[in-house]
Structure 1
Amino acid sequence: MSTEVLETLIHSQLPAAARGDRDAYGRIVAGCQSTVTSIALAIVRDVHASEDIAQEAFLSAWQNLRKLNNAASFLPWLRQITRNLARDHLRSQYRRAPPGGDVESLIASVADPHPGPAEQLGDARDHAIAAAVIDSLPEESREVLLLYYREGQSSRQVAGLLGLQDAAVRKRLSRARERVREELLQRLGEFAKSTAPGAGFSAAVLAMLMVGAPPAAAATAFGAGALGAVNGATKLGIGALGGAFAGIVGGLWGVWFGVRKLLRQPFDERERRGVMAYALFTSALTVSFSIGITLLARVPGWIPHLAASVGFAAGMVFACGWWFPRILARRRAHELAMDPVGAARRQRHERLLGRIGAAAGLVLASCGVALGLWMSGRMG
């Protein structure tokens, strides 16, 4: 997408997005995702982390979109949000190891024109090599070079996306070529193109607009599981099984999507085990409830169905409201120690999102239970 087309897209879609139109914002995300992920990757030198950061940047921009008065300021504003989040990420990785381990041996293995079987590179090795090459670049050249390869090697396009002059982009590219051997730049170019975000990235961002934070994700799972299962409970046979399946799929997606970043980048092994236990518990709760309430479709009366729903709600409130915050307590304390003002602001925001998500999940689930019981004739 050319810079002119992207600017037109932002100007046309931003007013609707500011009014809460997620589809309009999704089109903006699709247009800007390459720029945002490249900026994050240039700072953190890790593809998975860069995508997580880019998603957080788009979520943060969405939540503050009404504060933006000028559509022309959107892209510079989004770039700065991304850089701030990426630097926060680096500060939080206080035990961060060098990205590729033995950088010289990694570079040598790429430069070797006849690598042996043991040196054949998989995805993890390619990522490590790319991180090593990025580290060797001048800091000012990293964003430019990654975006240059992802945008069809057009310096003019990169200049427009980063708010630079074309001459400045060309100068930074020249400096990068002076610092890094050509074969390594070619490998970095292939890596940049192969890891560019696709349609799935913007779909994940749109999902995050509904989820927000891990506790809210679990609450959303609660709503999805309850509504899907109780809907299925109003029918018999295949219809009920289909409703249970929809509830299970929706619930499990919400749980695991919400904790994926914490499992990829745990604070320590203790936190990783705790998050995994939390995810397994809420998954089991969602599956049990979806199947159980479907099996109750043939049971007369409404008390068993209400009891099952209340039990499920109590389990989710315990997991999201009490257990999960304690799993993250050491991470939160460390973040506050590293950045008292910024971390406190982010944590307040996360708590607010969690409460909103939990309330929305409880309301949706309660409505689903009541509707299902009424439609089945149990509360006539």
Structure 2
Amino acid sequence: MNAENIDLLIRHELPAAAGGDRDAYGRIVAACQNTVTAVALAITHDVPTSEDIAQEAFLSAWQHLKRLQNPASFLPWLRQITRNLARDHLRANRQRPLDGETAELAIALAADPAPTPAQKIIEDERERAAAELISALPEDSREILLLFYREGQSSQQVAALLGLSDAAVRKRLSRARQDLREDLLKRFGELARSTAPGAAFTAIVATALTVASPPAAAAGILSAGAAVGAKTFGKILLGAAGSIGFAVVASFAAIYLGLRSQLRGAIDEEERRGLIRSAAINALASIGFVIALLVIAYATTGWMPAVLATVGFMGIIFYQSLVVQPRVLARRHALEAARDPAKAARDRRSEKIKCWIGVFFGVAGGLGGLIGGLITSGRI
């Protein structure tokens, strides 16, 4: 899709999206995802991190669409959200040294949570190569070159997507060609094309949209409690909307993203096992809760069975979030406190606040959804 068509699509779909139409916003995501991930990748030099940041940028923009007065400003606004999130990520990780054991740990945890040794080696090499290639580029040309190769090598398309003049884009492309070896530029082109987000990226954001609060805020039922500690769009799930189907998607999405985020900083295999075990318990509890609600709906009467099932489920989720996971992470927190006490103290306070916010909205949304369901079903 060329830049003119993307602009037309945004102008056409944005009013409906601002009114809460998730399908309309999903079409905007599909049209803009190349640009947003390229902006994030140019800053972070890390493909998985750039996709996490891009997801968070799309969801942040979704929840604040009503602030946008001019549809023509959407893409510049979205690019700036992405740059701010990417720079915040770099600042948050700036004090973590990337040498010695820490570097080995960072490389190992950049792969999937449970890869085979062979997969892990391949993934490590890919990520190292990607970081080296991006770092070799002139800083002011990274976004341009990434989009140039992802968008059919059209300088006009890149100029329109990044809000630059075609002449400025051509000038930076020319300078990059002069500064870089031809083989390096060819490898970078292959990297840019191979890391472009596809249907899977769109599907992840679309899944988050089905449970995330629309621009006009809505209350949640199950996802809030499950989202405690989750990175990227897990934080957005605190305001999720409340049907059982939405709740299941929210729970599993938040559990997966929270686990993925936590495993990246795991200090050893014992901590990894503890985090995975806690996430598995939450996932099984979610499945059990849905089955219990289906059985209750068809085999019981009255309000007590549904209340007991909901309280039991929420108790498991909150116990894992408030008791089990802090115990598993205690050694990591101690190491962080020894390395930088002030930063560790700030991080713990922030985590505690987010956790209790999750508990509050989880309880409020869960009980609110339960009461609403009991009333509409005629059980009370």
Instruction: Name the TM-score, length of structure 1 as normaliser.
Output: 0.71
How many residues matched? Answer: 336
**Which residue number corresponds to residue 47 of structure 1?**
47
CA distance in 1, matches of 2:370, 2:37: 36
Q: Secondary structure at the match of 2:55?
A: helix
- Counterparts of residues 282-321 of structure 1 (less than 5 Å): 282-291=282-291, 303-304=304-305, 306-320=307-321
Q: What percent of counterpart residues are identical?
A: 47
Distance 1:336 1:262, change over 3 A: farther
**Which residue number corresponds to residue 76 of structure 2?**
76
Q: 1:185: how far off?
A: 1.7
**Which residue number corresponds to residue 265 of structure 2?**
266
1:215–1:320: 8 Å Cα contact kept in structure 2?
no
2:155–2:170: 8 Å Cα contact kept in structure 1?
yes
Distance 1:59 1:350, change over 3 A: farther
**Which residue number corresponds to residue 109 of structure 2?**
none
| Larger CA deviation: 357-366 vs 191-200 | 357-366
What amino acid does structure 2 have at the position aligned with 1:97?
Answer: L
CA distance in 2, matches of 1:323, 1:252: 18
TM-superposition CA deviations, 1:277-310 (whole Å, max 9, x none):
4312312322333445666766787645543332
**Which residue number corresponds to residue 360 of structure 1?**
365
Distance 1:301 1:368, change over 3 A: closer
CA distance in 2, matches of 1:29, 1:267: 32
Distance 1:66 1:268, change over 3 A: farther
CA distance in 2, matches of 1:343, 1:157: 45
Distance 1:79 1:256, change over 3 A: same
Match of 1:216 among 224, 234, 242: 224
**Which residue number corresponds to residue 132 of structure 2?**
132
CA distance in 2, matches of 1:367, 1:66: 28
Q: 1:161: how far off?
A: 0.7
1:52–1:261: 8 Å Cα contact kept in structure 2?
no
2:225–2:358: 8 Å Cα contact kept in structure 1?
no
Q: Secondary structure at the match of 1:315?
A: helix
What amino acid does structure 1 have at the position aligned with 2:311?
Answer: V
Q: Secondary structure at the match of 2:153?
A: coil
- Counterparts of residues 1-380 of structure 1 (less than 5 Å): 1-93=1-93, 94-95=95-96, 97=98, 122-209=122-209, 210-211=211-212, 216=224, 218=226, 227=244, 250=249, 253-263=252-262, 265-266=264-265, 275-291=275-291, 303-304=304-305, 306-320=307-321, 337=343, 355-356=360-361, 359-368=364-373
| Larger CA deviation: 128-137 vs 11-20 | 11-20
TM-superposition CA deviations, 1:312-331 (whole Å, max 9, x none):
23323444566668878959
CA distance in 1, matches of 2:353, 2:212: 16
Structure 2 unaligned regions, length at least 5: 105-117, 214-219, 228-236
TM-superposition CA deviations, 1:92-129 (whole Å, max 9, x none):
2232538xx89xxxxxxxxxxxxxxx9xx945423321
2:34–2:147: 8 Å Cα contact kept in structure 1?
yes
CA distance in 1, matches of 2:129, 2:198: 22
2:259–2:276: 8 Å Cα contact kept in structure 1?
no
Instruction: Name the TM-score, length of structure 2 as normaliser.
Output: 0.71
What amino acid does structure 2 have at the position aligned with 1:176?
Answer: A
CA distance in 2, matches of 1:300, 1:345: 43
Distance 1:251 1:171, change over 3 A: closer
Q: 1:40: how far off?
A: 0.4
Distance 1:89 1:274, change over 3 A: farther
What amino acid does structure 2 have at the position aligned with 1:364?
Answer: G
Q: 1:226: how far off?
A: 8.8
TM-superposition CA deviations, 1:332-369 (whole Å, max 9, x none):
9989849x8x9999997897677445533443345446
Aligned residues: CA RMSD: 4.3
CA distance in 1, matches of 2:303, 2:153: 64
CA distance in 1, matches of 2:11, 2:139: 31
Distance 1:351 1:18, change over 3 A: farther
What amino acid does structure 1 have at the position aligned with 2:187?
Answer: R
Larger Rg: 1
CA distance in 1, matches of 2:3, 2:327: 46
